[in-house]
């Protein structure tokens, strides 16, 4: 589905008469909020509560809150968004825009603004509904993804589609690089789409339920490398979890994070899956079901990230690594 709004951002006129509440939390949502602040009257921002961060457990504000506070915008951080219904009513808003907020929004709020409640989602819906669409697109080996602007309802990412724009996933893209690309794409597509929503000329297309797939949040078991998979599957998993939370295996009982790897054409039928096959100039070869991957950027438990070659050089006799098995 190609539903790109044919308009340049430079052609958008600032409309401070339109009153907006924005709901979002992580860094991904920051460019979207910034564009709304530049173009519309943002009356309030709703985000998740501050959470403990780091070893000292100090409370840290969500990135969206920091932007709102820097622009003197009213910030709400309810445990349940339904608890601030009356506060939202008091802002006399026209539209609610959400992006990666982190809570289900009840109908009492969805039905409040006259122009509705719209969401910026990082996939080409109905594919990859859920909280980890960027990670899952790469892990599953998709060649493209994109941004969907949609109306919200009480089901997860199931509302009518207003606009979409595709973006290719390149061979060396990671979750981190796609995060930044899609965040900026989301901001530009939203600003190009909002005028049609405001004058009520926008498209409204129901999602095809037969095409629905899900991108559930990443769990610990999703991070564990399984060397009985193919080289391509492992390569996609590693880059799909970079830079958060990271793929891992076990080396001599310790967690070994794998941040980068590459695929070779070598094949070692006599070795076990997960067995170290060779030491290369740039890393550690590991046997997988259909060949070999080379781990090039790793992080042993308790250590910092380092090139695998540096890790190898720190071992007295790196030849001792060959034949060892990564679990």
Is the whole model's pTM more than 0.85, yes or no? yes
Q: Classify residue 23: in a domain, yes or no.
A: yes
Which residue carries 């071992």 as its tokens?
315
φ and ψ at residue 80, rounded to 5 degrees: -130, 125
CA distance 225 to 4: 37
pLDDT tens profile 156-179: 999 999 999 999 999 999 999 999
Question: Which of these three, 176, 211, 246, is where a domain ends?
Answer: 211
Residue 195's nearest CA partner among 18, 3, 30, 1 is 18
Q: Is the domain of 198 the same as that of 254?
A: no
Domain that holds residue 316: 220-321
Q: Classify residue 119: in a domain, yes or no.
A: yes
Q: Classify residue 107: in a domain, yes or no.
A: yes
Q: Is the domain of 37 the same as that of 88?
A: yes
Q: Classify residue 62: in a domain, yes or no.
A: yes
CA distance 206 to 204: 7
Element spanning 149, H or E: strand 144-151
List, in order, residues 6 or more apart from 285 with CB less than 8 Å away.
Answer: 264, 266, 276, 277, 278, 279, 292, 293, 294
The token pair that represents 180 in the structure block: 């930044």
Question: Which of these three, 183, 211, 239, is where a domain ends?
Answer: 211
Give me the number of domains the chain comprises: 2
Q: Is the domain of 155 the same as that of 286?
A: no
Q: Is the peptide bond before 245 cis (omega within 30 degrees of 0)?
A: yes
Alpha helix ranges (H) inside the chain: 30-39, 63-70, 85-89, 107-110, 133-139, 175-198, 220-223, 231-240, 308-313
pLDDT tens profile 100-141: 998 899 999 999 999 999 999 999 999 999 999 999 999 999
pLDDT tens profile 243-271: 999 999 999 999 999 999 999 999 999 99
Q: Is the domain of 275 the same as that of 180?
A: no
Any idea what the CATH number is for the domain that residue 110 is in? 3.40.50.170
Any idea what the CATH number is for the domain that residue 284 is in? 3.10.25.10
pLDDT tens profile 60-110: 999 999 999 999 999 999 999 999 999 999 999 999 999 999 889 999 999
């Amino acid at each position: 589905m190609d539903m790109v709004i044919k308009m340049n951002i430079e052609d958008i006129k600032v409309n401070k008469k339109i009153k907006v509440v924005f709901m979002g939390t992580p860094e991904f949502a920051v460019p979207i909020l910034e564009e709304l602040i530049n173009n519309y009257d943002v009356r309030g921002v709703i985000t998740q509560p501050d959470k403990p961060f780091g070893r000292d457990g100090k409370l840290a504000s969500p990135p969206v809150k920091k932007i709102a506070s820097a622009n003197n915008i009213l910030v709400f951080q309810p445990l349940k968004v339904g608890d601030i219904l009356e506060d939202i009513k008091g802002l006399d808003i026209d539209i609610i825009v959400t992006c990666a907020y982190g809570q289900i929004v009840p109908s009492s709020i969805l039905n409040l603004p006259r122009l509705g409640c719209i969401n910026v989602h990082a996939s080409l819906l109905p594919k990859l509904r859920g909280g980890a669409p960027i990670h899952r697109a790469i892990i599953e080996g998709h060649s493209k993804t994109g941004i969907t602007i949609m109306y919200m309802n009480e089901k997860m990412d199931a509302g009518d589609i207003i606009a979409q724009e595709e973006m290719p996933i390149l061979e060396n893209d990671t979750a981190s690089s796609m995060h930044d690309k899609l965040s900026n794409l989301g901001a530009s597509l939203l600003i190009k789409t909002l005028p049609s929503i405001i004058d009520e000329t926008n498209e409204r297309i129901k999602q095809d339920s037969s095409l629905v797939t899900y991108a559930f949040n990443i769990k610990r078991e999703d991070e564990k490398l399984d060397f009985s998979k193919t080289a391509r599957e492992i390569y996609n998993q590693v880059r799909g979890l970079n830079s958060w939370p990271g793929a891992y295996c076990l080396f001599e009982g310790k967690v070994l994070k794998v941040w980068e790897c590459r695929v070779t054409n070598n094949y070692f039928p006599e070795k076990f899956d997960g067995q170290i096959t060779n030491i290369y100039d740039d890393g550690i070869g590991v046997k997988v079901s259909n060949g070999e991957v080379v781990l090039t950027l790793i992080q042993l438990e308790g250590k910092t990230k380092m090139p695998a070659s540096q890790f190898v050089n720190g071992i007295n006799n790196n030849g001792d690594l060959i034949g060892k098995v990564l679990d």
